[in-house]
């Protein structure tokens, strides 16, 4: 075991001064990143953070050189972050200029800014490292992140900017929501779309800049995208998504920094991203709104319900074809198999499901017989199917010989309100309307 139980308690209880600074700073950064990243995700500009993070590199190199020439050490963090902010804002303006003045899409503008600004930044860092007045060693931490080097002044700066950014995002929630979902409507209503766009990108820039020290410009994009994407699997409501994204970001920052403190050889930024990626994977699998497993189970339940409805309607139509639906006589298995294109295995599975729901009762071998509840359900399903068929023939101009297939695809999602509307449009007198096509 690389660490003791006492080490674990010390990290969890934040007894170490340095661990306390790093954990609190990364947790606040994660919460703010989750909030801003949610708007960025809904705006379909997830890679904007990646472009902005790479756009900050020239500013870091230039700020370092200027501070050296002014007689400083060049390692003053607020000065470096100021340079990164100016460079990031320049990248934002270039992206907006490209998208607003040309027909090029956002991804082209982001790719241009990402590659060009990063190339310029690498060239500037190469020149800075050759300056005899100062030592540029340590600037690489802004590329890969070095949370362990955070001191009290850095922590206060990160916390202040994160708090201001989070409050701004919450206050502008209504405007950002309108911008994300329909910017054309927002412009038609008189909202300053360009100003809101710049404000949103400004907040993204702020989060990107303060995240450089913790996770680096390469990994900061994960802090902006992964918490928001994880939250999206759990809800369809933006307000809930913002809350969940902030929680996921905070947990990722807290747990990642804590694990990095317990395992000193692991870089903090990479561990934070791994933790966030693990939460994303769990959300993708189990998320109640869009998770893979819940969606699979929903589809499986829908498939079973559709199969049950097809079975009951087939039985009712066979009884109707022989002019004896009211008698509810036994129906041969062969006639059921001929009526629908079921394999024997599928048919047996449907029969077993119908028996579990008490829609079938005991009958002679080779036959099936609807129970009282099954017969009522079969009549209701057939009636809804016929109403929809008549509606499609009358209002959608579909030929009677083809309407059964079209109705078969929709009838399973007809709610009570839609059925009442169909009854208002059509003649609801007959309990089960006659079939508009030959069975």
Q: Specify which of 6-10, 102-106, 124-128, 356-360 reaches the highest per-range mean pLDDT.
A: 356-360
Q: What average pLDDT does the segment 197-222 reach?
A: 82
For the chain, the average pLDDT equals: 82
As a whole number of angstroms, the distance between CA 160 and CA 171 comes to 17
Helix axes 48-55, 17-42, angle to 10 degrees: 130
Report pLDDT digits (tens) over 48-66. 777 888 888 898 888 888 8
Reported pTM: 0.80
Structural domains of the chain ordered from first start:
5-288 (1.10.3470.10), 294-425 (1.10.10.10)
Q: What is the pLDDT of residue 276?
A: 93
pLDDT band at 134 (very low <50, low <70, confident <90, very high): low
Nearest of 218, 216, 224, 209 to residue 81 by alpha carbon: 209
DSSP string, 267-296: -HHHHHHHHHHHHHHHHHHH-TTT-HHHHH
Closest CA to 29 of 164, 131, 199, 136: 164
Nearest to 51 by CA among 104, 121, 101: 121
Average pLDDT over every residue of 158-179: 91
Helix (H, G, I), strand (E, B) or coil at 153: helix
Residue 370, classed as helix, strand or coil, is: strand
Inter-axis angle of helices 17-42 and 152-171, to 10 degrees? 30
Mean pLDDT (whole number) for 234-257: 92
What is the maximum span of the chain, computed from C-alpha positions, in angstroms?
102
- The Cβ-side half-sphere exposure at 286, using a 13 Å CA radius, reads 5
The percentage of the chain sitting over the pLDDT mark of 90, rounded to a whole number, equals 18
The pLDDT of residue 57 is: 86
pLDDT of the residue at 439: 44
Lowest-confidence pick of 67-71, 178-182, 319-323:
319-323
- Give the Cα-Cα-Cα angle 117, 123, 126 (nearest 5 degrees): 140
The mean pLDDT value for 318-341 works out to 77
9-23, 80-94, 157-171: least confident range: 9-23
pLDDT of residue 31: 93
As a whole number of angstroms, the distance between CA 170 and CA 31 comes to 12
- Whether the predicted pLDDT of 283 surpasses 80: yes
Q: What is the pLDDT of residue 247?
A: 95
Lowest mean pLDDT among 2-6, 229-233, 302-306, 378-382: 2-6
Selected residue with higher pLDDT from 126 and 291: 291
Give me the mean pLDDT over the 83-101 stretch: 87
Say yes or no to pLDDT of 137 above 50.
yes
Which residue bears the tokens 């009526």? 339
- Inter-CA distances, 132 with 57, 58, 68, 80, 127, Å: 21, 20, 10, 19, 11
Q: Which residue has the tokens 């079921």?
A: 342
Sheet of 360-361: strands edge to edge?
331-332, 367-370, 360-361
Question: Taking a C-beta distance cutoff of 8 angstroms, is the pair 35, 170 a contact?
Answer: yes
**What pLDDT, on the 0 to 100 scale, is given for residue 323?**
67
For residue 436, name the pLDDT band (cuts at 50, 70, 90).
low
């Amino acid at each position: 075991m690389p660490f003791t139980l006492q080490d674990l308690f010390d990290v969890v209880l934040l007894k170490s001064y340095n661990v306390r600074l790093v954990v609190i700073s990364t947790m606040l950064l994660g919460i703010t990143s989750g909030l801003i990243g949610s708007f960025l995700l809904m705006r379909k500009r997830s890679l904007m953070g990646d472009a902005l993070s790479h756009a900050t590199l020239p500013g870091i190199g230039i700020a370092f050189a200027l501070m050296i020439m002014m007689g400083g050490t060049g390692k003053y963090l607020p000065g470096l972050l100021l340079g990164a902010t100016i460079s990031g804002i320049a990248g934002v303006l270039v992206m907006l200029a490209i998208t607003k003045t040309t027909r090029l899409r956002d991804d082209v503008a982001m790719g241009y800014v990402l590659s060009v600004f990063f190339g310029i930044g690498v060239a500037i860092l190469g020149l800075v490292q050759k300056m005899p007045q100062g030592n540029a060693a340590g600037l690489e931490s802004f590329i890969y992140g070095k949370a362990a080097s955070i001191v009290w002044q850095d922590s206060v700066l990160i916390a202040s900017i994160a708090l201001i950014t989070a409050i701004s995002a919450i206050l502008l929630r209504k405007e950002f929501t309108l911008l994300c979902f329909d910017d054309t409507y927002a412009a038609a209503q008189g909202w300053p779309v360009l100003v809101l766009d710049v404000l949103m990108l400004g907040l993204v820039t702020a989060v990107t800049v303060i995240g450089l020290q913790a996770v680096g410009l390469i990994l900061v994009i994960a802090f902006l995208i992964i918490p928001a994407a994880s939250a999206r699997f759990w809800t369809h409501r933006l307000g809930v998504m913002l809350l969940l994204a902030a929680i996921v970001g905070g947990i990722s920052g807290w747990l990642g920094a804590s694990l990095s403190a317990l395992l000193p050889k692991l870089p903090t930024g990479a561990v934070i991203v791994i933790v966030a990626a693990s939460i994303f994977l769990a959300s993708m699998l189990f998320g109640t709104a869009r998770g893979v497993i819940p969606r699979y189970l929903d589809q499986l339940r829908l498939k079973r319900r559709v199969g049950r409805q097809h079975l009951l309607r087939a039985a009712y139509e066979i009884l109707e074809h022989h002019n004896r639906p009211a008698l509810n006589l036994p129906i041969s298995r062969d006639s059921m198999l001929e009526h629908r294109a079921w394999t024997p295995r599928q048919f047996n599975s449907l029969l077993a499901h119908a028996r579990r729901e008490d829609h079938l009762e005991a009958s002679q071998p080779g036959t099936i017989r609807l129970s009282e509840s099954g017969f009522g359900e079969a009549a209701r399903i057939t009636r809804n199917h016929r109403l929809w068929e008549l509606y499609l023939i009358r209002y959608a101009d579909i030929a009677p010989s083809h309407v059964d297939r079209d109705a078969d695809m929709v009838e399973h999602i007809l709610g009570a309100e839609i059925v009442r509307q169909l009854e208002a449009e059509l003649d609801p007198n007959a309990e089960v309307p006659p079939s508009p096509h030959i069975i």
